A and B are shown apart, each in its own frame.
Chain A
């Protein structure tokens, strides 16, 4: 359904959702915006020309969470809290797409992660399209876009005084029940806004044969070059909406088994009990980060594991830019493989 929402009416609508849902939306925190629970006094941030700093993956995979609480004499109990039904409002298409990509890892028949699944099932996602695409993002290059609709129950298009609301599910319909239906003309105008946003985004790098080039040049000096100035911190991976690695630790003093975000850029990530580390330096770690997104995701689910949100570009402390790294990769030698 295509509906019209007056911008003035948005605040009341958000507040009305609070009766039945925990509502999360981007709000100001220090110099950036962050998904936080809606309160009576919350101020929604929609005018930032870029994304929230921490991706909303943290609403589904928290930075730290207790899985099990140990009791005396070798027993343990479930440490999970029950989750209330939620609405995540203002999620950008790249981040929503990322959550859908992460489903392929966390929801796999007998290997389904119950915590992830519960949060996903209890969450309605309402997107806000990017009518003025951000400069660090490159969503169209990796096959998505500023109005990508994957995994959204509804998406809003900013049209000045009003939003055009497109709903894609019953849950989405229910959220916007009672709003006037948009005239065909208005819908066409909204599509024009969406297409223009899409067209404004330059091609950041070529993706044709990129996978083969990266794969076939596993030992190329290219990796030494692009990793030289890497500090080895976790900014790119922790702020990445599709990075999902975690580490399970027994916090013995708290008597808890916890799950923390982990990063392939850390020295301890692939450190084995023997002391051997198969990825001993930043060279191998950088190769892993890039290859996971542009080779291994493709092998596993035939999708690029990067949604082009641009956070790693914007916040890398040494200005490393995945777009120029992959442009450089374009000139790597490769042979077309002919599958028999």
Chain B
């Protein structure tokens, strides 16, 4: 875990010296399991800043929600840094207006897995290397950290922020690229009928609350396709067609843009698996175009890039 004091010191400096107008990070929530995204606008507020493995949101999602001219500091992990890069590529923010405080990420903890193991009365969670020390009403319990990670974090390839303005803590070893395929493989190894049954089972649990969309930094459209009324582009209700349509089109809109952060699955109140779809698209992007979203802040995603000498005619 990176040194919290070092993060605070840097955040304070940015605000005190006027480098940024706001620092986007986390603050403690009502319980240790739910830290909240927070916006610090002056140095003396920064003592409330926290950072731990339970900070489950992708903060880059707030980048398109602060005034466009404002200068923003942000605590970023590997995935958040990639999301910021992808947003800069899509001209949602000038990189010059950003100051990224990078922290190498050991993976985000799944609070539901924790309470499933130790019960509801969690008083504190201490992270110590590969261990978790959980304090509950019944006493202390030592857990293996890795077992309580979110699935998307277990297969993370790039835990380190690659283009932060300052890195706090030691860079971690890069993840195994073969692991990135695990979600896709479990899906692809099945017969076509089983795949459809899986997709139906996942998609049709949906309640159309759009937490996945709202949690996703890349879903910043002013008007989402499901909200369009004239003409209506998708079925509105919680019907099989409506729910399947939402999940498949949402995934397709992420082609070459999804940074595999898993914020969609973490936000979903119905535990719907979604990353097997986006990971498949990411895999195809790597395989066919040698492209990974967000690795830098310049390269256009293959499906967004247009050149005048394109061999293929642009057609709709």
Contacts and interface: CB of A to CB of B under 8 A. Distances in A.
How big is chain B's contact interface, by range? Answer: 35 or more
Contacts, number: 113
Given A49-B120, A318-B37, A63 B205 contact: no
Contacts of A251: 232, 235-237
A235 B237 contact: no
B116 A31 contact: yes
26 contacts: A30-B205, A49-B120, A63-B208, A64-B239, A64-B242, A135-B120, A228-B37, A228-B38, A229-B36, A229-B62, A233-B213, A234-B207, A234-B209, A235-B209, A235-B267, A235-B269, A238-B207, A260-B208, A267-B227, A268-B227, A313-B30, A318-B57, A319-B30, A320-B36, A321-B29, A324-B30
A50 B120 contact: yes
A224 to B, nearest CB: 10
A187 to B, nearest CB: 29
Contacts of B267: 231, 233, 235, 317
Contact of A319 (B35, B62, B210, B237): B35
Nearest to A281: B65
A60 interface: no
A182 B239 CA distance: 47
B13 interface: no
A233 B215 contact: yes
B213 to A, nearest CB: 7
How big is chain A's contact interface, by range? Answer: 35 or more
Specify the main secondary structure of chain B where it touches its partner: loop
B36 A318 contact: yes
A233 B214 contact: yes
A64 B271 CA distance: 20
B34 A319 contact: yes
Interface string B194-227: 0000000000010111110111000000010001
B8 to A, nearest CB: 19
Interface of B: 29-31, 34-39, 56-57, 61-62, 112, 116, 119-121, 205, 207-211, 213-215, 223, 227, 229, 232, 235-239, 242, 266-267, 269-271
Contacts of B121: 135
Contacts of B62: 229
Contacts of B61: 231
Contact of A317 (B208, B211, B223, B237): B211
Given A63-B207, A249-B237, A251-B237, 11 more contacts: A49-B119, A63-B237, A231-B211, A231-B214, A231-B215, A233-B215, A234-B207, A235-B269, A266-B227, A316-B34, A319-B36
Interface of A: 29-32, 49-50, 53-54, 63-64, 134-135, 228-229, 231-235, 238-239, 247, 249, 251-254, 258, 260-261, 263, 266-268, 313, 315-321, 323-324
A221 to B, nearest CB: 12
Contacts of A238: 207, 209, 269
A32 B269 CA distance: 10
A319 B208 contact: no
Contacts of B116: 31
A77 to B, nearest CB: 19
